[in-house]
Amino acid sequence: MLKERAKYNVPPLIDGPLAAVIAAEVGKMHKPTVAYLGPERSFTWEAAVALFPHGVYKPAKTITDVFKAVEAGDALYGVVPFINSLEGPVGETVDALATHDLKVVAMGELRIVLCLAKKGTPRVVYTHPHAAAQARKVLQALGAEVVYTTSTSEAVREFERCDNCAVLASPKALEGVEKICGVEDAESYTRFAVISRKDGVGERALLIFAVPNVPGALHKALGPLARRGINMTLIYSRPTKLSPWDYYFLAEVQSGEGLEEALGEMSHYTTMLKMAGRYNIVTIQPTQL
% of the chain beyond a pLDDT of 90:
74
- Residue 27: helix, strand or coil by DSSP? helix
DSSP state of 143: T
Task: Give CA–CA dist 204/157, Å, rounded.
Answer: 37
Band of residue 240 on the pLDDT scale cut at 50, 70, 90:
confident
Q: Which residue has the higher pLDDT, 150 or 97?
A: 97
Task: Give CA–CA dist 8/6, Å, rounded.
Answer: 5
Annotate 189-258 with three-state secondary structure: EEEEEEEECCCCCCCEEEEEEECCCCCCHHHHHHHHHHHCCCCEEEEEEEECCCCCCCEEEEEEEECCCC
For position 2, what pLDDT does the model report? 36
| Angle between helix 91-99 and 63-71 (nearest 10) | 30
pLDDT at 289 over 50: no
Band of residue 286 on the pLDDT scale cut at 50, 70, 90:
low
**Nearest of 48, 30, 78, 36 to residue 197 by alpha carbon:** 78
Lowest mean pLDDT among 134-138, 265-269, 285-289: 285-289
pLDDT digits (tens, 9 = 90+) for 138-184: 999 999 999 999 888 889 999 999 999 999 999 988 988 999 999 99
Other beta carbons within 10 Å of 243? 7
pLDDT at 10 over 90: no
Tell me the one-letter amino acid at 216.
G
For position 31, what pLDDT does the model report? 86
